[in-house]
Amino acid sequence: MQLLYQTHSPYARKALVFAHEAGLADRVEVVHHETSPTLRNESVFAQNPLGKVPVLIRPGQAPLFDSDVICAYFDTLHSGRPRVPREGEARWQALRVQAVAQGLADAGIAVRWETVRRPEALRYPPLRDGYTEKLVAAYDWLERELDVDASVHVGHIAVATALSWLAFRELPDFRAGRPRLTAWFDAFETRPSMRATPLSGETRDT
């Protein structure tokens, strides 16, 4: 399998960390592609009509895109403990944590558009502030609700990769006043899956 990837994408990294956690990394060839809404990548568009990574290219089968879908697929390829719980409240907890993490990444990208990516004359501070409020509210929710003692699931992977990206991009800090979340994140960052997938590079919009 090939994973179309970007070294500074929280979504792509989530899929690759999941592959490592599920013991599948040696079955995945990582192929780097730069993508942006303002810089069309024809190779990625050929596999994903949204023109975004990650995309999983499967021999003889249709490509899969979106990190949630790719992680769900990866979870069918190994015989170990499911990283997406199959049933009960454990499943819904993992999926709601994943949803919060995806929203964190989405909001962080929106803040970056309104602070560094969009031309200064076109930036809209009230929109930046609104998305920043979403970040802070999500941090507070995770401090209260993250199941830090549970076995690693897809939600944990999504949160760790989102928070790592937010720190990498120097977006509003999640650590201040959130000792429970901070301690969990610091421990998760030492996992081999995170160490094997470091963030690097800058977004190219032109």
Q: Where are the domains of the chain?
A: 2-74, 88-191
- Mean pLDDT score, 133-141: 98
Q: What is the pLDDT of residue 76?
A: 98
Phi, psi of 29 (to 5 degrees): -95, 120
Q: What is the pLDDT of residue 177?
A: 97
**88-191 matches 2-74 in CATH topology:** no
- What tokens does 68 get? 């949630």
For residue 54, cis peptide bond before it (omega within 30 degrees of 0): yes
60, 135, 162, 194 from 131: Cα distances, Å = 41, 6, 15, 26
Q: Which of 23, 33, 170, 154 is nearest to 99 (CA)?
A: 154
- Report the DSSP beta bridge partners of residue 64: 56
- What pLDDT, in 10s, does the model give residues 71-99? 999 999 999 999 999 999 999 999 999 99
- The C-alpha atoms of residue 97 and residue 66 are separated, in whole angstroms, by 17
- What pLDDT, in 10s, does the model give residues 19-52? 999 999 999 999 999 999 999 999 999 999 999 9
Provide the edge-to-edge strand list for the sheet that holds 64-65.
29-32, 2-5, 55-57, 64-65
Look at residue 185 and tell me whether its pLDDT is greater than 90. yes
pTM above 0.85, yes or no: yes
Calculate the average pLDDT of the chain.
97
Residue identified by tokens 């929106």 is 110
Look at residue 9 and tell me whether its pLDDT is greater than 90. yes
Assess contact for 101 and 94: CB atoms under 8 A.
no
Q: What is the pLDDT of residue 206?
A: 84
- CATH class label, 2-74: alpha beta
Q: What is the pLDDT of residue 24?
A: 98
Look at residue 127 and tell me whether its pLDDT is greater than 90. yes
Stated length of the chain: 206
Q: What is the pLDDT of residue 161?
A: 98
pLDDT confidence band for 70 (50 / 70 / 90): very high
- CATH class label, 88-191: mainly alpha
Does an H or E element contain 4, and which? Answer: strand 2-5
